[in-house]
Amino acid sequence: MTIPDVKQKWANPINTVTIGAAKEGGGTRTHTISVGGSTTLPFLHFEGEIPHRPVVAMEILDIVPEDWHPLLSKYFSDVWDNPGKWAKKCVEEFGADLICLRLAGCDPDGKNQGPEEAATAVKSVLETTGVPLIIWGCGNDDKDNEVLPKCSEVSAGERCLLGSITEDNYKTLVALCKADGHKLIAESPVDINIAKQVNILATDLGLDAEDIVIYPTSGALGYGIEYVYSIMERGRLAGLSGDKMWAMPILCDIGKEVWKAKEAIVSQNEVPQWGSQEERGPLWEATTAYVYLLAGTDILIMRHPKAVKEVKKYINKLIV
């Protein structure tokens, strides 16, 4: 029986964003990573091209984490006093596609480290690893505007992905990216319109739409994931349908969310009904990732080595 054709002809491909610069690109990375570029919804190969597979970045901090769960610390505690070593372990032992360096040490409510210390961390990661780098501020607007310029400067030409701009704080970072040749994470609070508004504000300042990755906020499985899921689906549909301000790759920052979730951090002794925590913790993180992959995420930021390994393995099964 012949059946009707249900292929959709989408108006617009998702932008391709290349992170990292190798020697020929003016940087020192051993390779670059491109995301986006697809002309269809996630993994629908019958309908369009999916030139780049989703990638997994592993999260490291510029300071020794205070509250990381023992299930995580057992992998990292030997190296986490040194961002360079930590990053190297993630790449060489756990197969991270990228490193996401979060400048938690700059938080004025915490260690309140200055631009120099942050820049040192950036440099050390760039020295010990060859993968492209994501640099994410501490989330305090004023402090990030003070710290990130230095980080941007010491990594100029490396085409890092810097985070993050928001509706209320975008001018400094947009200027940095234009000057030092980086890419930007545009953050919004689980809202399809605000996500778009940040992109409009940034491009109004002259940033190329192709330099932006959307971060629509992430919730862990069981903690609001369905809101983010639908916003990502709607955004991706809009992007493919021709909305240039939603035609960016999408990033999900799930490690920090998952490792707050009860289901990941509560031991089997406390809740026998939930089964082995050794498995449950990383599987909660992996499952959160599986869900976001179907909504269209292009970059996942994760923590647990086992979850990273399994998610990368599963991605390969969905890509030709």
Partner 1 sequence: MALTGLEIYKNLPKTNCGDCNFPTCMAFAMQLAAKRVSLDQCPHVSEEAKATLAEASAPPMRLVKIGKDKNPLEIGQETVLFRHQEKFHRPTGIAIKLKDNLREGEIDKEVEEINGLKFTRVGEEISINLIAIEHTGVSAEEYARLVGKVKEKSNFPLILISPKPEVIEAALGVSSEGNPLIYVANKENYEGMASLAKKYRCPLCVEGKDLEELAERTAEIKKLGVEDIVLSIDSDRAMDTLQDLTRSRRLALEKKFRPLGYPTITFTTEKDSFQEVGQATTYICKYGGILVIEGKKKWQILPLLTVRQNIYTDPQVPNAVEAKLYEIGGVSSNSPLIVTTNFSLTYFTVEGEVTNSKIPTYISVVETEGLGVLNAYAGDKWSAEKIGKTLEEQKVKEKVGHNSVIIPGLVAVFRAELEEDFGWKVLVGPEEAARIPAFLKNEWKVN
Partner 2 sequence: MEKKKVRVTFQPSGKTVKVDKDTTLLEAGAQAGVYISSICGGDGICGKCRLIIKKGNIKANPTTLLSREEIRKGYVLACQTTAEGDLEVEVPAESRAEKEKILVDKDAQRFRALYPQAEEKTFFKYDPLVQKLYLELPKTTLQDNLADHLRLYREIRRKRKIPIMQSGLKVLRILPKILRESKGKVTATIGIRGKTTEVIQIEEGDTTKESYGLAVDVGTCTVVVHLVNLNNSQTIDAEATYNSQRVYGEEVTRRIIYAELKGPDKLREAIVNDINNLISTLISRNKIKLNDVMTLVCAGNTTMVHLLLGLDPSQIRREPYIPACTSPPPIRAAEVGIKINPRGLLYTLPSISGWVGGDITAGILATGVNETKSLTMLIDIGTNGEIVLGSKEWMVCCAASAGPAFEGSGVKHGMRAAAGAIEKVEILADGKVKHSTIGGVKPKGICGSGLIDVMAELFKAGFINRSAKLSPEASSRIREKNGELEFILVPASETQIGEAIVLTRADIENLIRAKAAIFAGADILVKSMDLEIKEIEQLYLAGGFGNYLNKEKALVLGLIPDISPDKVQFVGNTSIMGAKMALLSREALERSYEITKKITYYDLITNPGYMDEFISAKFIPHTDLAKFPSLAKKL
Residues 64-93 contacting partner 1, CB under 8 A: none
User: How does DSSP assign 178-241, residue by residue?
Assistant: HHHT-EEEEE-SS-HHHHHHHHHHHHHTT--GGGEEEE-----TTTTHHHHHHHHHHHHHHHHT
298/320 Cα distance (integer angstroms)? 16
Residue 311 binds partner 1, judged by CB under 8 A? yes
How many chain residues bind partner 1 (CB under 8 A)?
Answer: 54
CB atoms within 10 A of CB 132: 28
Residues at the site binding partner 2, with contacts judged by CB under 8 A: 167-168, 191-194, 196-197, 200-201, 204, 243
Enumerate residues 6+ apart whose C-beta is below 8 A from 244: 12, 209
Nearer to partner 2, 206 or 272 (CB): 206
- Of 247 and 293, the one with the shorter C-beta distance to partner 2 is 247
197 binds, among partner 2, partner 1, none (CB under 5 to 8 A by kind): partner 2
Residue 2 partner contact from partner 2, partner 1, none using kind-dependent CB cut-offs of 5 to 8 Å: partner 1
Task: Report if residue 234 touches partner 1, rule: CB under 8 A.
Answer: yes
User: Please, what is the minimum distance in Å from the beta carbon of residue 317 to partner 1?
Assistant: 5
Query: Among residues 12, 34, 244, 290, which is the contact residue for partner 1, using CB under 8 A?
Result: 290
> Which residue, 37 or 139, has its beta carbon nearer to partner 1?
139
Cα dihedral value 162, 166, 171, 176, nearest 10: 0
136 membership: H or E segment, kind and range:
strand 133-136
Q: Which two tokens stand for residue 246?
A: 């939603």
How far apart are CB 252 and partner 2 at their closest, in Å?
A: 21
269 binds partner 1 (CB under 8 A): no
Local structure of residue 63 (DSSP, 8 states): S
Question: Is there binding between residue 104 and partner 1 (CB under 8 A)?
Answer: no
Q: Please, where are the H alpha helices in the chain?
A: 70-76, 83-92, 115-128, 141-154, 171-180, 192-204, 225-240, 255-258, 262-265, 277-295, 305-318
Q: Which positions lie near partner 1, rule CB under 8 A?
A: 1-4, 6, 41, 43-46, 109-110, 139, 168, 189-190, 219, 221-227, 229-230, 233-234, 237, 263, 273-277, 279-280, 282-284, 286-287, 290-291, 294, 306, 310-311, 313-314, 317-320
